[in-house]
Amino acid sequence: MTHRTAPAPADPGFGAAAPGSLRAEGLGYRLPPPGRGRAGALLLDGVDLEVAPGETVGVVGPNGSGKTTLLRCVYGTLTATSGRLLLDGQDAAGLTAKERARLVAAVPQDATGAFGLTVRETVAMGHSPHKRFWEGDTAEDAAQCRAALERVGAAHLADRRLDELSGGERQRALIARALVQRPRILALDEPTNHLDIRYQLDILHLARTLPPTVLVVLHDLNLAAAYCDRLYVLAAGRVVATGTPAEVLTEELLHDVYGVHTRIGPHPVTGRPNVVYVPE
């Protein structure tokens, strides 16, 4: 909240909704039991999380710490088995898939193209939660798609097939789809995965300057420090630390959570924490 680099324009042309809040109270997720008399693994354990409208909040943690599970609970492909999730003040348990999709948009990890769907067709899918299923797209819808593609710098890709794009181009197209959804909250699961460094910086800069509130799972701690207002650190399905990057990213915590030795100093340009890893 304190260091937004560029304020979002009032009307960017894709009908953006006001950013929303996100709140998890003791959120838990347990896998279904694998056999009789055996309990399923507990992937999320009493997670409390609070994101204010307009914030960009990062979720970091080691592999298997529950980051993606948490995000899936937020965007609805998993249903939490305990606790409560409030999306812009509404209990997620009482929402239909469509109602939820009007509040939360996401770029899931498995999102690739199929059957030669073009970028334009893919972005237009973002209108779906606002339509009856038999309704077609209007000229205004098409204009919103163009505006969203322009916003993410992908207008020139509109006629290309999604499955032909490079990783960075595809992320942009899918973020444009999420924008057309007019969400209050945007959930991103490692949006920088497989991207070269230029695209990594570019996508995260884009994410934090977009209208919706952003909850983003990141592996790279320096990127998380540079682009997030606040961080949640997960380990074994629990929140072990939360606060601004400067409060959270300490040498002791990274040793406890990841088991690695680091030196952390201020970034020479931004002044935010800069993590340097010390080889064993």
Which parts of this chain interact with another protein (CB under 8 A)? Answer: 72, 75-77, 96-102, 104-106, 108-118, 121-122, 125-126, 128-129, 131, 133-136, 151-161, 163-164, 166, 168-169, 177, 181, 198-199, 202, 205-206
**174, 111 contact by CB (below 8 A):** yes
**Residues 6+ positions from 279 with CB-CB distance below 8 Å:** none
Q: Which is nearer to another protein, 114 or 269 (CB)?
A: 114
With CA atoms as reference, report the closest residue to 68 among 166, 249, 193: 193
The values of phi and psi at residue 35, to 5°, are: -165, 175
**Residues 6+ positions from 68 with CB-CB distance below 8 Å:** 109, 189, 217
The values of phi and psi at residue 132, to 5°, are: -70, 155
Q: Which is nearer to another protein, 11 or 159 (CB)?
A: 159
C-beta of 74: minimal distance to another protein in Å? Answer: 10
Residue with tokens 């948490």: 70
C-beta of 39: minimal distance to another protein in Å? Answer: 19
Q: Which is nearer to another protein, 128 or 244 (CB)?
A: 128
C-beta of 22: minimal distance to another protein in Å? Answer: 15
**107, 120 contact by CB (below 8 A):** no
Q: Which two tokens stand for residue 44?
A: 């999320």
Whole-angstrom distance, CA of residue 46 vs CA of residue 43: 10
C-beta of 101: minimal distance to another protein in Å? Answer: 3
C-beta of 88: minimal distance to another protein in Å? Answer: 15
Which of helix, strand or coil describes residue 128? helix
**Residues 6+ positions from 96 with CB-CB distance below 8 Å:** none
C-beta of 102: minimal distance to another protein in Å? Answer: 7
Q: Which is nearer to another protein, 200 or 274 (CB)?
A: 200
Q: Which is nearer to another protein, 20 or 76 (CB)?
A: 76
Q: Which is nearer to another protein, 208 or 272 (CB)?
A: 208
Q: Which is nearer to another protein, 19 or 126 (CB)?
A: 126
Q: Within a 10 A sphere around the Cβ of 93, how many other Cβ atoms?
A: 11
C-beta of 243: minimal distance to another protein in Å? Answer: 29
Which of helix, strand or coil describes residue 129? helix
